Each structure stands twice: as structure tokens, then as C-alpha cells.
């Protein structure tokens, strides 16, 4: 194993970054903690290419932390729609409100204080402190874990507490005395562009000469994969009701799956779809028929959505349900819909506008 105290490790990465690192990402070149924090939250579990357009739209709509804090959470969720891991958006909004209320609108500069804010863990707090306030602190995101596991031959799944503890100790021991901001960025860039999960570019890696995984021919084995287990299966029937111009949507509870987003009303089990539409949604439904099911995989379970479409007529004395709302077809693109729900709605509208019977007919 390489010597964890080898000063060449950080020097190699810093020298590589000057020539080959990423220098033109939208959130680089700034020490504004609002912009750095926003990018760090969006980049959790999400690729840079997917984040960039969301990041730019967020800053157009909320150019400052104060404007984000004062915005309705529904607007925040709408802009986040499609990016996934929606708790990030709820925490983002709540964090902005806390910074405004408890820190006079100024992001704290102490990593320990930053870490106490909603949705910010140790690695993200350290990254904000390093990039914005010149702190000397290590980070340990997915890219850095992969670089350290391979370069130092760390066994075990990085998400296991014992392995993660060892990685934190290693990451802190490798921090250079100066230039930590460039070094931290170099680690992230190397993991994102060279030391990738599959097909890494070892021939271009500045650590090739000191990499344990390369010398031991274990690049494909390190880091160890998450222990595999069968994902639980869930099935849910949902109503896709329309009146020719609008679709009926339901606001999800603020916590839990798709918390705070709009979705299609769920049908209870066992159910009578037409009866439920009348009782819970205040609609009479014509031409009710099942559409093609859609399977969506989450981190901890797999969900099969079985949509039922129908033409809805409002009942004359229907009780109002504050969680339900009618959304015009033309406004659906801006609605805060989870990705699988958006796919169901978009496919349905495409068939409806083409005059296809698939929009209302029963599928085989």
C-alpha cells in the first residue's frame, strides 16, 4: 500500500489539475457560498451534465439566497422536477430560510456550523468552507472515495461505516498544507473524468505510478460494490383524469416519496376506479381504461405504476379537496412532476393529440 503521508500525492494532483482539470463549470471562479452550496447540493448523486441546466435555471429564478428563501416551496419543487432525490430541494429551501432567519442572511464559514444546516453533510460542509472561506478540510464525495480506494487499495464497500471512517482518516492525512482548494477540486475532477467507475483512463492518470489498484490489476474490483440484495417490489394504481383541456393532479404530502410534488391521484387497494373518482376526486368518469404500466427503480425499492385514464366530468356538488388541482395541458411542462409521472402524462398527451386510441383504450 502507498504511504498515506506521501506528499507527492497532492502535488501530483495539483499539477495535473492545472493542465487537465475542469476550469469552466458555471459554479467555478466564484467564492459566493450561495452558488457553491447550490452546486454542491445539485451534484449529490447527479452527473455534471444533468446539473448544469438546472443550476442555470435556478439562478435565473432565484439569483440570491434571500429570493430562494422567500419563494413558495412549490416554485422550488417545480424547478427541481426531473432532477430526482427531491428531499434535496425541500432541504435547500429550508436551509435558505434558516440562513436568513438565524445567520442574518450570511452563510456561516465554520464547517461544523454549516453541517448543522438541513441537507448538508460533512463532505458538503467542508467543500463549501474550502471553496468559499479558505478552510483546510478534506471532502469525501463519491468521486473522491473512488480515487482513494483505488490509489490506496482500500477494501470494502465505501458506504460501510468502518470503511468510510478509514477513508476520512486517509483523506485528512493527504491534505496539503497549502492549495487545498485546488487539491480538493483536482480530486473531484480526477474521479469524474479519469478515475471513472467503468473504463477509467489509467494511461492519462497522474496517480498511475502510485496506484495500488493498477499495480495489483484490481481496478475493476475497487472500490467494492454495494452488497447486492433483492429490491422490494411495490405496485400502485393511479388515476389520469382529464376533461379535454386539463389533467387532475394531487399534491403529495411534504415528506416521503416525491414529497411536495404534484402527482396523479393514487387508487386504494382494493379499489373501484370509477367509485374512487366520484368519491375522492369529485368526478364522474367516462371511458375509464388501463394504460401501459411503468416501472421505476428507486435506491431502496422498485415501483410499478399502473395508470388508469378517463374523461372526467365534475359533479355538481363535489366536495373540494385542497390537495387536488386541475392543471392545463399547456402548463404541465412547468409543473413539479416526478420523472415517472411526467413520462406517463407526456405519453398520454402525445397519444391524445395524435388522436390515438392508445390514450383511452385498454392495453393488451
Shared-domain flag, residues 119 and 60: yes
Shared-domain flag, residues 110 and 43: yes
Shared-domain flag, residues 238 and 210: no
Residue 33 forms part of a structural domain: yes
**pLDDT at residue 364, rounded to an integer:** 32
Shared-domain flag, residues 241 and 276: yes
Q: pLDDT tens digits, residue range 53-69? A: 999 999 999 999 999 99
Region 312-327 average pLDDT: 77
Any idea what the CATH number is for the domain that residue 347 is in? Answer: 3.90.79.10
Q: Which residues contact 237 (CB under 8 A, 6 or more apart)?
A: 266, 267, 269, 271, 273, 306, 307, 308
User: What is the average pLDDT value for the chain, to the nearest integer?
Assistant: 90
Shared-domain flag, residues 126 and 254: no
Shared-domain flag, residues 325 and 195: no
**pLDDT at residue 1, rounded to an integer:** 38
Shared-domain flag, residues 281 and 202: no
40 is catalytic: yes
Region 209-231 average pLDDT: 93
Shared-domain flag, residues 150 and 72: yes
The dihedral built from the CA positions of residue 90, 91, 96 and 100, taken in this order, carries a sign that is positive
Q: Which residues contact 322 (CB under 8 A, 6 or more apart)?
A: none
Percent of the chain whose predicted confidence (pLDDT) is above 70: 94
Residue 2 forms part of a structural domain: no
Residue 3 forms part of a structural domain: no
**pLDDT at residue 318, rounded to an integer:** 59
Q: Which residues contact 34 (CB under 8 A, 6 or more apart)?
A: 64, 65, 68, 107
Q: How many domains does the chain have?
A: 2
Any idea what the CATH number is for the domain that residue 44 is in? Answer: 1.10.340.30
Shared-domain flag, residues 28 and 149: yes
Shared-domain flag, residues 192 and 276: no
Give residue 251's domain range: 233-359
Residue 83 forms part of a structural domain: yes
Amino acid at each position: 500500500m502507498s504511504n498515506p503521508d506521501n506528499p507527492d500525492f497532492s502535488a501530483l494532483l495539483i499539477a495535473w489539475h492545472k493542465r487537465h482539470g475542469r476550469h469552466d463549470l458555471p459554479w467555478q471562479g466564484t467564492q459566493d457560498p450561495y452558488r457553491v452550496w447550490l452546486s454542491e447540493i445539485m451534484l449529490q448523486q447527479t452527473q455534471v451534465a444533468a446539473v448544469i441546466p438546472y443550476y442555470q435555471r435556478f439562478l435565473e429564478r432565484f439569483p440570491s439566497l434571500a429570493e430562494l428563501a422567500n419563494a413558495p416551496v412549490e416554485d422550488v419543487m417545480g424547478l427541481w422536477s426531473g432532477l430526482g432525490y427531491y428531499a434535496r430541494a425541500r432541504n435547500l429551501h429550508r436551509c435558505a430560510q434558516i440562513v436568513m432567519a438565524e445567520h442574518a442572511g450570511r452563510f456561516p464559514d465554520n464547517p461544523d456550523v454549516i453541517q448543522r444546516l438541513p441537507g448538508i453533510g460533512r463532505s458538503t460542509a467542508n467543500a463549501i468552507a474550502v471553496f468559499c472561506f479558505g478552510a483546510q478540510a478534506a471532502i469525501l464525495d463519491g468521486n473522491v472515495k473512488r480515487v482513494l480506494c483505488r490509489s490506496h487499495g482500500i477494501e470494502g464497500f465505501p458506504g460501510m461505516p468502518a470503511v468510510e471512517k478509514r477513508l476520512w482518516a486517509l483523506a485528512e492525512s493527504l491534505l496539503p498544507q497549502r492549495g487545498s482548494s485546488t487539491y480538493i477540486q483536482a480530486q473531484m475532477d480526477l474521479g469524474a473524468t479519469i478515475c471513472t467507475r467503468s473504463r477509467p483512463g489509467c494511461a492519462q492518470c497522474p496517480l498511475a505510478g502510485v496506484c495500488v489498484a493498477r499495480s495489483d490489476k484490481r481496478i475493476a474490483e475497487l472500490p467494492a460494490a454495494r452488497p447486492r440484495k433483492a429490491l422490494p417490489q411495490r405496485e400502485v394504481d393511479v388515476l389520469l383524469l382529464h376533461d379535454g383541456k386539463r389533467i387532475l393532479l394531487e399534491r403529495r404530502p411534504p415528506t416521503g416519496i416525491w414529497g411536495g410534488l404534484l402527482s396523479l391521484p393514487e387508487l386504494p387497494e382494493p379499489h373501484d376506479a370509477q367509485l374512487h373518482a366520484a368519491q375522492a376526486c369529485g368526478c364522474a368518469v367516462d371511458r375509464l381504461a388501463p394504460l401501459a404500466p411503468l416501472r421505476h427503480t428507486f435506491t431502496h425499492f422498485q415501483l410499478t405504476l399502473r395508470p388508469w385514464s378517463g374523461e372526467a366530468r365534475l359533479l355538481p356538488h363535489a366536495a373540494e379537496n385542497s390537495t387536488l388541482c386541475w392543471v392545463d395541458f399547456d402548463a404541465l411542462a412547468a409543473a413539479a412532476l416526478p420523472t415517472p409521472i411526467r413520462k406517463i402524462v407526456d405519453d398520454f398527451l402525445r397519444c391524445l393529440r395524435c388522436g390515438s386510441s392508445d390514450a383511452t383504450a385498454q392495453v393488451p
